[in-house]
Amino acid sequence: MERTGNKDWEKLNTYQQEAVLDESPACVVNANVGSGKTTVLIAKILYLHWEKKVPLEDMLVLTFTNKAAREITDRLRAREPELFPEQIRGFGTFHSVAMRLLKEKLSIEKAGWTRDFSVMEPEEETDLALRIIKEEKLNIKYKNRLKKRLEQEYQGYLEGKETSRYRDDLFRLYPLLQKEKQRENKMSFSDLLLVSTELIKEEKYFPAWIIADEIQDSDNLQLEFLAALKGEDTRIFAVGDPNQVIYSWRGSSDSTFFALKRQFGARELSLPVNYRSNASILEAANRFRQFGTRIQGTREGGKAIKVKRQYDPFTEAEYLAEQIESLHKSGERYEDTAILYRLQRQGEILCKVFDKRGIPYEISMKQTVKEVPALNWLIKVLRFSVNPRDKQTGEEVLQNPDFGEKLTRKKIRELLEEGKGTNFLYEKMKRFQDWSRGQTELPKSRTIFAYFGLGQALGPALAGFEEREAQVLKFLEWLENYCEEKRLPLWEGTKAFLDDAVLYGMDLQEMMGEEENSRKGVGLMTLHASKGLEFRRVYLIGMNQGLIPLRCKDLEQEEEERRLFFVGMTRAKDELELSYYVNPREPGVSGEWSRYLLGIPPKLLDWKEDSRKEKGEEKLHSLGREVREQIRAKREGEREAEIRKKEQEERTEKEEAAENVKENTAVRDMETEKETLEPGKSAALPSVRHRKYGEGIFISQNDLTVEVEFPGYGRKQFLKALGEVEFLSDTTEENHGG
DNA sequence: AAGATCTATCTTTTT
DNA sequence: GATAGATCTT
């Protein structure tokens, strides 16, 4: 692989060159939108590799998202086709690199796990916590917000604060949770960073170079991870843009960029030249920048930004469909246009109208494999199979009401905790390691399917069996291919596959073999989802007060809305059209146009307030009613499904409680203590008065409470001790006590 | 048990 | 700024 001089960087502008050639101990680059940030990163990596002879293996290239990681490795491979995968093992997201270090470099046993730990799903930790709360009878308040509380109060716990915010047992939960995760040998996302950071500090693992992308999106854990990795001779090169912080609700902040600079005493460079947008768009965007100097453009003039008044979302969808159809007829590709909006649900009406018109589109709502119940279950089957210590997951597999043999909770407990009794699937899962080790060659998906007896377990009698079977087979094929590609035997392959699945997500379309990365329709996406993309033509819709900006409570949030609008505008290369509704049909959104429209100099705008004929609009409006009704019905359906699910959960909980009562003979039957009047006596029932509900009829009572029925309000119970009800007929007074 | 009071969530979504 | 949900108070 000897080669002299990769002079890619000589073609770059002077700012970019300076960034590529920089060798300060620490350097942060303020990279503006469309300024060739990734180009610089790639050029820098190649420069270090070829000119400075820094082996790629000695670099860590860290990104926040998988998408960014993939872009870097793809572009690097395009430049260096002979790259070995081993050379770029240090390239990836913070979490995936942390995982790799824990699995390969650091002495993880010191921290209480073993090298073959598995990675937890994000919800798994809360489920585990709930189980511990139940088992240990901990008093934890606000359980519905447990996930957030666990995150928010962790810092305080570490700092040794006396007690949690609500003076409950939360601080007793942390160590128990930690112990249980170690016992089941699994780590959460934050464990990956926390534990690796600690071990790196102890063991002084220092790479030669750290290159970090999109640094403005990092949170504290990630910054600490970086700090731990920086040895005396380590150079750190971080790229980011404080103007593009749009995820601060998730832990990043617009000060992260500057905090990093301060922490490492970094040299600050900038990439001020934008190669993407025309001059009008850039000048308008400059008004919404919050940090740094203005962006320099590379293009003269360009079309003004169009502002359009729309009657309502439906008439707008029709308008956009017509525009796009006619543009397509004149030779423009669908994929060169994007429609951006603030809320996910704004996309629905566009989908409906585009479907009707046969316009191809790509919507930014990827379905993951986990959303298919059968696959979600299968993943759990496999997870338990490769880690039988994962009691939590084993329990979930056996508890599933639809798949596998129906078992009582008692039987499941016996199986998992005492090893009593037998169950076909359970045995298969426990023996998976032995079985797969015994295979001379990689088993086919069909063979794995048969091994677990999935033909039976997937509910052949239930509706949709064939589809389930096909999906499960497809999934197992995917697993088979993965093992083949990575040249791993089934057991090791399955383990790695499942960890990857948690870390990188599994896209359903990808599994079904539908081509990815080939945008072939109009892009429909939220402003958040548009980050990092560019389009020739952008429609930024719903520029109404309360939508863009979304109504927010504090200044900080308002600033973020501005950045979000900035990100949206700067996606456009040649044409940008902004629109607002007279009739937004969103709760809390007014028909006023966004004040952001007033923030753009009028000379950049093509804004003609043509008072359109209300009549034509009214006609479309009534057409729109039908579509709106459909969408409303769909949402209603989803809500009902949610409620049904909740009810189901409550029912199983009650069943379990009943089971416990049955088992525990010492518990007295409470029903007998409640003295109920016979229906026959109802004519003689006394009247009762309540301050709020008026006159009612006495129904029953026990030692503590009185039950009364009020016309129009139904039955209510009151504590006798509070004396809120007054008996009107004194004949029964003495029977009912005070 | 009911009423008062407190709190977070509306919205965005990644590892 | 309204509302749902949990907790506290009585």
* Mean pLDDT within A568-594: 88
**Highest averaged pLDDT of the listed ranges A470-484, A623-637, A723-737:** A470-484
Rounded to a whole number of angstroms, the CA Rg of chain A reads 31
A38 known member of a binding site: yes
Q: Which two tokens stand for residue A287?
A: 């008004």
- Predicted model pTM: 0.79
Question: What percent of chain A shows pLDDT beyond 70?
Answer: 81
Q: Among A71-85, A217-231, A441-455, A659-673, name the one with the lowest average pLDDT.
A: A659-673
Q: What is the pLDDT of residue A613?
A: 45
C1’ B14 / CA A247, Å: 9
Q: Work out the mean pLDDT of chain A and round it to a whole number.
A: 83
A69 burial class (0-12, 13-18, 19+ CB within 10 angstroms)? buried
Q: Are strands A605-607 and A305-310 parallel, antiparallel or unpaired?
A: parallel
Q: What is the pLDDT of residue A431?
A: 93
The band of A653, judged by pLDDT with boundaries at 50, 70 and 90, is low
* Mean pLDDT within A483-507: 91
- Name the one residue in this structure whose structure tokens are 């239930």: A462
Query: Taking the alpha carbons of A211, A216, A218, A223 in that order, is the dihedral positive or negative?
Result: positive
The CA distance from A597 to A562, in Å, is 12
**Residue nearest the C1' of C1 (CA based):** A553
Answer yes or no: is pLDDT of A111 > 90.
yes
C1’ B12 / CA A527, Å: 8
Q: What is the pLDDT of residues A234-251, one digit of tens each?
A: 999 999 999 999 888 777
Answer yes or no: is pLDDT of A664 > 90.
no
User: Is residue A422 helix, strand or coil?
Assistant: coil
Q: What is the pLDDT of residue A164?
A: 77
Q: Is the CB of A189 under 7 A from strand B?
A: yes
C1’ B10 / CA A552, Å: 10
**Residue with the larger pLDDT of the pair A255 and A429:** A429
**Residue nearest the C1' of B11 (CA based):** A343
Query: Taking the alpha carbons of A449, A452, A455, A460 in that order, is the dihedral positive or negative?
Result: negative
Q: Which nucleotides of B are covered by protein (CB under 7 A)?
A: 1-3, 8-15
C1’ C4 / CA A642, Å: 16
C1’ B1 / CA A157, Å: 36
A31 known member of a binding site: yes
Q: What is the pLDDT of residue A327?
A: 95
A33 known member of a binding site: yes
Nucleotide closest in space to A341 (CA vs C1'): B12
Answer yes or no: is pLDDT of A258 > 60.
yes
Neighbours of A559 (CB within 10 A): 16
The band of A641, judged by pLDDT with boundaries at 50, 70 and 90, is low
Q: What is the pLDDT of residues A665-721, one digit of tens each?
A: 333 333 333 333 333 333 346 677 665 555 667 776 665 566 766 555 556 666 555
Fill in the amino acid letter for A342: R
Question: What percent of chain A shows pLDDT beyond 90?
Answer: 47
The CA distance from A430 to A182, in Å, is 20
Q: Which two tokens stand for residue A439?
A: 């295979």
Q: What is the pLDDT of residue A338?
A: 95
**Residue with the larger pLDDT of the pair A364 and A224:** A224
Answer yes or no: is pLDDT of A439 > 80.
yes
Q: Which nucleotides of C are covered by protein (CB under 7 A)?
A: 1, 5-8, 10
The CA distance from A211 to A232, in Å, is 16
Residues A267 and A18 sit within 8 Å (Cβ to Cβ): no
The CA distance from A189 to A122, in Å, is 7
Answer yes or no: is pLDDT of A1 > 90.
no
Q: How far does CA A178 lie from the centroid of its chain?
A: 23
Nucleotide closest in space to A143 (CA vs C1'): C6
Q: Is the CB of A548 under 7 A from strand B?
A: no
A353 known member of a binding site: no
User: Is residue A591 helix, strand or coil?
Assistant: coil
The CA distance from A702 to A686, in Å, is 16
**Residue nearest the C1' of B1 (CA based):** A718
DSSP state of A703: S
Nucleotide closest in space to A167 (CA vs C1'): C7
Query: Whose CB is within 7 A of strand C?
Result: A 141-144, 166, 553, 722
Nearest to A454 by CA among A428, A491, A434: A428
The CA distance from A702 to A222, in Å, is 59
Q: What residue ranges in A545-683 does DSSP mark as E strands?
A: 572-581, 605-607, 675-676
Q: What is the pLDDT of residue A738?
A: 29
A522 known member of a binding site: no
Residue A724 dihedral angles phi and psi, to the nearest 5°: -80, -20
The CA distance from A506 to A66, in Å, is 12
Answer yes or no: is pLDDT of A276 > 60.
yes
**Residue with the larger pLDDT of the pair A264 and A144:** A264
Q: What is the pLDDT of residue A730?
A: 40
Nearest to A379 by CA among A503, A494, A513: A494
Nucleotide closest in space to A94 (CA vs C1'): B15
C1’ C8 / CA A719, Å: 17
Answer yes or no: is pLDDT of A636 > 80.
no
**Residue with the larger pLDDT of the pair A512 and A102:** A102
The band of A511, judged by pLDDT with boundaries at 50, 70 and 90, is confident
- Name the one residue in this structure whose structure tokens are 């209510």: A716
The CA distance from A552 to A276, in Å, is 31
Residues A364 and A507 sit within 8 Å (Cβ to Cβ): no
C1’ C4 / CA A643, Å: 15
Q: What is the pLDDT of residue A666?
A: 37
Q: Is the CB of A704 under 7 A from strand B?
A: no
Q: What is the pLDDT of residue A722?
A: 52
Q: Which long-range contacts (CB under 8 A, 24 or more apart) does A139-146 make?
A: A139/A168, A139/A169, A140/A168, A140/A169, A140/A170, A140/A173, A141/A166, A141/A168, A142/A166
A664 known member of a binding site: no
Q: What is the pLDDT of residue A6?
A: 60
DSSP state of A685: P
Nucleotide closest in space to A145 (CA vs C1'): B8
C1’ B13 / CA A250, Å: 8
Q: Is the CB of A66 under 7 A from strand B?
A: yes
Answer yes or no: is pLDDT of A371 > 60.
yes
Nucleotide closest in space to A719 (CA vs C1'): B1
C1’ B13 / CA A256, Å: 19
Q: What is the pLDDT of residue A619?
A: 53
Q: What is the pLDDT of residue A682?
A: 38
In sequence order, the β-bridge partners of residue A537 are A337, A575
**Residue with the larger pLDDT of the pair A510 and A226:** A226
The band of A734, judged by pLDDT with boundaries at 50, 70 and 90, is very low
C1’ C2 / CA A526, Å: 25
**Residue nearest the C1' of B14 (CA based):** A65
The CA distance from A578 to A306, in Å, is 6
What lies within 8 Å, CB to CB, of A57 at 6+ separation is A86, A87, A89, A90
Answer yes or no: is pLDDT of A724 > 70.
no
Q: Which two tokens stand for residue A249?
A: 């609700």
The CA distance from A172 to A140, in Å, is 10
Nucleotide closest in space to A168 (CA vs C1'): C7
- Name the one residue in this structure whose structure tokens are 């359906």: A637
User: Is residue A625 helix, strand or coil?
Assistant: helix
**Residue nearest the C1' of B2 (CA based):** A718
C1’ B10 / CA A244, Å: 23
DSSP state of A520: -
Q: Among A108-112, A203-207, A399-403, name the one with the lowest average pLDDT.
A: A399-403
* Mean pLDDT within A63-84: 91
C1’ B11 / CA A340, Å: 15
User: Is residue A452 helix, strand or coil?
Assistant: coil
